Amino acid sequence: MGFPSILSSHRGEPSPLRTWSLLCCMAMLQFFVAVDVTVVNIALPSIGTAFGVDGHALTWVVVGYTMTGGGLLLLGGRLGDVLGRRRILLLGTALFGGASLLAGLAPSFPLLVAARLLQGAGEAIAVPAAMAVIVLAFPEGPRRSTALSVWAAVASCGLVLGFALSGVITELFGWRWIFLVSVPFIVIVLIATLFLVPDDRPAARTTLDLPGALLLTAAPLLFTLAVIEAGEADTRMPWLPPVALAGAVAAGALFVRVERRSPHPLVPLRLFRHRPRVLANLATALVSAALSTSFLLFTYYLQDRLGTGPLEAGLTLLPLAVSLIVASVSVPRLLERWGPRACVLAGIGFTALAMGVIALVSRLGGSGPAMIPAMVLIAAGMGFGLVGLQYLAVTGVTESDAGIASGVQRAADQLGGSTGITVYVGIGFAPALAGADPFLTSSLLAMVGLGAAGLVAWRLPVPTTVTDGPVE
């Protein structure tokens, strides 16, 4: 498809107007993809009331999106190279938008969960292609650095604003609109992509590792099913949890076997011969597990325990949003001064203190503002811990491995967070443990995981200073 003349320079090269319009288009997609990670949190009690499900089952609404996205993320990155970035970008964006519409109109809880799974698949397909489009549209140097900084900032803002938007939208329009509000903007992205992104052909034909992608997605989903069903006090299918758990173990084992034999593996096993990188990704999963759990605990405490309305709950979470912004600005400077391992250990410590505060406030029956210290500590833990681990996870990669190493780190982040919610919140709020304080149980489990993350991070043999800054 040709481009309007105003979008091209006289030499046939993309004009600044076109490239920056393209960045705005891709940033809009990134914003709503990030928003959908956190926007459901405040709306969960309303969704539970609408469908008659408890907090234990509601974990599917959160983890369905992030687990599918994390499991298919690496495949999504390869699809752009094999089938063309423009085509895959349109496919993933359309899938994400269609799934958002389905989620907003879902007449039943199972259909809502299915829509969230499809949203995650759309994210995994669209986001890698969108980022590749940005990289190719902006030449190396200050312009590309600026574009990628905008991309990262928009993602952070989407995660942060998801909390506030969830409260406002749920209170004023109803929970369905947290999904429906993104649909017209996704349509704009689709139309703009047709005009702004040039048609491209794949550089080389490569066999897709579809079995590996399916197994990497199936393993955590089956594990989630096993944990949630095991917590049901009066399950009618007592055989389902052990069968699902066995399926998760089998899928994980088959994934390793498939990757070992595949000529074009989704995750080259040679990456796991680098011990520091393996430890960094393991620590990433453990830290993300606790951070994602804290977001859900804040929501449940404010709305289920205290009876706070969605709008008030969203406003109460604003200190978390503001603290996340401050941390994202401050931590990169401290990373250079302290070194990545010190930042990671500080982040783990802050997060553990936050989980302790959540448990204490819950035990004492404190008010909503009593959770603010925990929110500030979580923001610090997220800033210090994940940024430092992001740097460590790509330390020592070659030019040919940099992309896959970054993808593995992001997948560890998403799948770790989803698994944490499944295990910590799933066990803490399980009907079978109705006599225990779910906030105390979930917080203690998260602290155990953070203790393991601290031991892993302590064993990382890394330099004490950073010269190149964190790698996105």
pLDDT score, position 465: 46
Helices then strands, counting H and E runs in the chain, come out as: 18, 0
Count Cα neighbours of 54 within 13 Å in the Cβ-side half-sphere.
Answer: 15
Q: How far apart are the C-alpha atoms of 300 and 447, rounded to whole Å?
A: 19
Cα–Cα nearest to 456, from 385, 358, 374: 385
Q: Which residues contact 407 (CB under 8 A, 6 or more apart)?
A: 73, 74, 77, 128
pLDDT tens for the chain, residues 1 to 472: 443 433 444 444 556 777 778 888 888 888 888 888 778 878 888 898 899 887 667 878 888 888 888 888 778 777 777 777 888 889 999 999 999 999 999 999 999 999 999 999 998 888 888 877 877 777 766 676 677 667 766 776 777 678 778 888 888 888 999 999 999 999 999 998 888 887 776 655 667 778 888 888 888 888 877 877 776 655 666 777 788 889 889 988 898 888 888 877 877 777 777 778 888 889 999 999 999 899 889 988 988 888 888 888 888 888 887 887 787 777 777 777 777 888 889 999 999 999 999 999 998 988 888 999 999 999 888 888 887 787 777 666 555 555 566 677 778 888 888 888 888 988 888 776 666 788 999 999 999 999 999 999 888 765 544 444 433 3
Q: What CA–CA distances, in Å, run from 28 to 62, 80, 266, 367? A: 22, 19, 28, 36
Q: What angle do CA 255, 123, 378 make, to 5 degrees?
A: 90
Quick one: CA dihedral 186, 187, 190, 193, positive or negative?
Answer: negative
Q: Going from the N-terminus, what domains does the chain have, and what CATH number goes with each? A: 12-208 (1.20.1250.20), 215-263 (no CATH), 272-472 (1.20.1250.20)
Cα–Cα nearest to 427, from 297, 267, 288, 286: 297
| pLDDT tens digit sequence for 146-171 | 776 677 667 767 776 787 788 888 88
Q: Are 450 and 355 in contact (CB under 8 A)?
A: yes
pLDDT score, position 11: 45
Structure token pair of residue 173: 């329009």
pLDDT score, position 235: 60
pLDDT score, position 406: 67
Structure token pair of residue 11: 């030499």
* AA identity, residue 273: R
Q: How far apart are the C-alpha atoms of 352 and 446, rounded to whole Å?
A: 8
In order, the DSSP letters of 239-288 are THHHHHHHHHHHHHHHHHHHHHH-SS-SS-GGGGG-HHHHHHHHHHHHHH
Instruction: Phi first, then psi: give them for residue 138, nearest 5 degrees.
Output: -115, 125
Instruction: Phi first, then psi: give them for residue 14, nearest 5 degrees.
Output: -60, 135
In order, the DSSP letters of 117-169 are HHHHHHHHHHHHHHHHHHHHHS-TTHHHHHHHHHHHHHHHHHHHHHHHHHHHH
Structure token pair of residue 248: 């998760």
